[in-house]
Amino acid sequence: MSTAAPRVLALIPPMTQLNTPYPSTAYLTGFLRKEGVTAFQEDLALELVLRLLSRPGLEAVRDVARRLPRDEQSPAVQDFLALFPEYLATVEPAIGFLQGQDPTLAHRIAARQYLPEGSRFSSLDVYVDPDDPDGGDPLAWAFGALGTHDRARHVATLYVNDLADVVRDAVDPRFEFVRYAESLAMSQPSFDPLAEALAAPPTLIDSMLDELTREAVERHRPTVVLLSVPFPGAVYAAFRIAQSIKRHRPELPVCLGGGYVNTELRELAEPRVFDFFDFVTLDDGERPLLALLEHLAGERPADRLVRTFVREDGTVRHHAWAEADVPFAETGTPTWDGLPLHRYLSLVDMLNPMHRLWSDGRWNKLTIAHGCYWKKCSFCDVSLDYISRYETASAELLVDRIEAIVAETGQTGFHFVDEAAPPKMLRALAEELLRRRVTITWWGNIRFEKSFTPECARLLAESGCIAVSGGLEVASDRLLKLMRKGVSVAQVARVTRAFTDAGILVHAYLMYGFPTQTVQDTVDALEYVRQLFEADCIQSGFFHRFSATVHSPVGRNPQEYGITLLPPADGSFARNDIGFHDPTGTDHDALGRSLDKALYNYMHGVLLDQDVRRWFRGRVPRPTVPRYFVSQALTG
């Protein structure tokens, strides 16, 4: 055991986001420094992409691509090799532009005569001016005559995505900017696929990540390294980072935690994980980390670790010493110190304004409360700590944190990342921001509940709110009741219109494939959605397929939802999503394609006056929803 003062290095592994750092290391670093611990953080996801998308990086990709036989080179790779001088000359200026370093380059990029164009640019063909469907600039409709800078960022984003396709086709078929090798970890009961990938010869990306890891460790000289893994698409790279550390610094303790671990590895029993990691912690990291640091200093035995997996005598053991979590109000202010905020990329992947918020601009991510104040939705992991333990802090303390973050970062944009921001806290926060005359721009996720009156929406807008997202899920009162969502379609219409009238953009999370959902339910749901767009209640939406998880009420009590769970696959690694049999037999995959197509058009204001049945292949029943349901709900 080490008795030296601890030096903690928290790392964000590839891939998460490119426009803003994932906030987990900022929370932990801020907390540890408050406790007097020397702590550092680095975003290796950003650093890997910047190393790839550089002149030396592209030259290395070219060298790999040229070794492929001609018949194994994809069209993207062939185009890249043919246009390599153009890519080499433009890659660093384009990345600099996306980092905000050279805004005057927008004119050349927007004109589409500067950057080489690959297959990703075919997406522009869908943007046709309704008044000039046979010609004209396809981007003019989306951006207008004055949106040169936005046009250029969209063009530069397509260029970057073309390069990502080349990396995927030539270097690593699992590569994506936000979901790297996701299939190796998502609800993967067996560790074998991940183990085989980690034992394979390193790719160019693996070698770059190894260099970045060694550089970070050498720079900070930590006594313990933390890897925070929020999503399955960051797991493979996290294990590669740990592998690198164990190869070069085998005595250095490495700890794994984060959202992925909290949901998928709660039943971890795979000893091979500990060839890479010494410790795996669950749920909020503050208390387990304090206990771990005491353990590493020889001040606490292993059996008093808090929510921590270790390997002892070849067997995985979970130590869960009962110790109170650090209260939300005492976790301290997140810090972004050590993260190169000026080097993140402001991308414009999608032209829908709400979708742009996720990838465009750097947002300070902050939590208003811990957990969810509602915690009843039947599809949600309400049994887990990050949902079930609801705690708040005072509005005064939250604005103190906001002011400290603005002073540190120089940026006033905030994304409140709560599962569902509590209405009372939002109102109190807005009033405190206005009382102190603190200027910020913010957006976040809510429940569309009746507390959000027109007066409340105007107050939130005055405090800086520009957008909200919330779950309409399956737009059916029967299914919303089965979901225990606590809202109705008519209520959602009134609440969302209140936000729209206040000048706040509204995004609806939508769901299909919920237990007992029929074709009729799906057609009716789309009719509700059509009316909500037509009435300008919502301006953006996204349909996702329902999946049952072992931590949700549906997964824990399937009989209440009319389904039968399929036997889980054998394994000792990850477990979260679980298959089920729905006796309705609805072909949700086919319906999902139709829903996506309809929603894409609705978000662009297209065909809102058409019968929703036009979007479905084959015959479907007519909607049973009254054609003026939403307009009547709005007029009371």
Angle at which helix 519-534 crosses helix 588-603, to 10 degrees, equals 10
Give the tokens for residue 275: 């060839």
What pLDDT sits at residue 17? 85
Give the tokens for residue 441: 């721009």
Q: Which residues lie across from 370 on neighbouring strands?
A: 391
Confidence of residue 147 (pLDDT cuts 50, 70, 90): confident
Helix residue ranges, H only, 502-574: 519-534, 553-556
What pLDDT sits at residue 141? 47
Q: Is the model's pLDDT at 469 over the cut of 50?
A: yes
Task: Encode pLDDT of 331-341 as tens digits.
Answer: 999 999 999 99
What are the phi and psi torsion angles at 376 (to 5°)?
Answer: -125, -15
Q: 620 versus 148: which is more confidently predicted?
A: 620
Distance in angstroms (rounded) separating the CA atoms of residues 184 and 238:
12
Distance in angstroms (rounded) separating the CA atoms of residues 587 and 591:
7
DSSP letter (8 states) at residue 5: P
DSSP letter (8 states) at residue 108: H
What pLDDT sits at residue 143? 52
Our CA angle for 218, 219, 224, nearest 5°, is: 70
Does the pTM exceed 0.85?
yes
Q: DSSP per residue over 458-506, as a string?
A: HHHHHHTEEEEEEEEES--HHHHHHHT----HHHHHHHHHHHHHTT-EE
Whether residue 208 is preceded by a cis peptide bond, meaning omega within 30 degrees of 0, is: no
Distance in angstroms (rounded) separating the CA atoms of residues 463 and 421:
15
Give the tokens for residue 132: 């000039």
In one letter, which amino acid is 589? D
Domains in the chain (CATH in brackets) are 7-45+182-329 (3.40.50.280), 53-170 (no CATH), 352-634 (3.20.20.70)
Confidence of residue 636 (pLDDT cuts 50, 70, 90): confident
What are the phi and psi torsion angles at 576 (to 5°)?
Answer: -150, -75
Distance in angstroms (rounded) separating the CA atoms of residues 513 and 591:
9
Distance in angstroms (rounded) separating the CA atoms of residues 474 and 362:
32
Confidence of residue 186 (pLDDT cuts 50, 70, 90): confident
Q: Do the beta carbons of residue 197 and residue 188 sit within 8 Å?
A: no
What are the phi and psi torsion angles at 124 (to 5°)?
Answer: -70, -20
Task: Encode pLDDT of 293-351 as tens digits.
Answer: 999 999 999 999 999 999 999 999 999 999 999 999 999 999 999 999 999 999 887 66
Distance in angstroms (rounded) separating the CA atoms of residues 140 and 151:
9
Q: In what order do the strands lie in the sheet with 38-43?
A: 38-43, 7-12, 224-228, 254-257, 279-281, 308-312, 315-319
Task: Encode pLDDT of 354-401 as tens digits.
Answer: 777 888 888 999 999 999 999 999 999 999 998 999 999 999 999 999
The Cβ of residue 574 has, within 10 Å, a number of other Cβ atoms equal to 26
What's the per-residue H, E or C state across 191-211? CHHHHHHHHCCCCHHHHHHHH
Task: Encode pLDDT of 491-540 as tens digits.
Answer: 999 999 999 999 999 999 999 999 999 999 999 999 999 999 999 999 99
Q: Is the model's pLDDT at 484 over the cut of 50?
A: yes
Going by their DSSP bridges, the two strands 465-473 and 391-392 should be labelled as unpaired
In one letter, which amino acid is 402? I
Q: Which residues lie across from 317 on neighbouring strands?
A: 310
In one letter, which amino acid is 133? P
What pLDDT sits at residue 351? 63
Task: Work out the average pLDDT over 601-608.
Answer: 90
Radius of gyration of the chain (CA): 25
Distance in angstroms (rounded) separating the CA atoms of residues 116 and 137:
18
What pLDDT sits at residue 1? 45
Quick one: which of 337, 273, 250, 421 has its CA closest to 34?
337
Task: Encode pLDDT of 64-88 as tens digits.
Answer: 999 999 999 999 999 999 999 999 9
What are the phi and psi torsion angles at 141 (to 5°)?
Answer: -65, -40
What pLDDT sits at residue 139? 56
- Please report, rounded to a whole number, the percentage of residues in the chain having pLDDT higher than 90: 84
Three-state DSSP class for residue 530 = helix
Three-state DSSP class for residue 213 = helix
Q: Do the beta carbons of residue 194 and residue 235 sit within 8 Å?
A: yes
The Cβ of residue 159 has, within 10 Å, a number of other Cβ atoms equal to 24
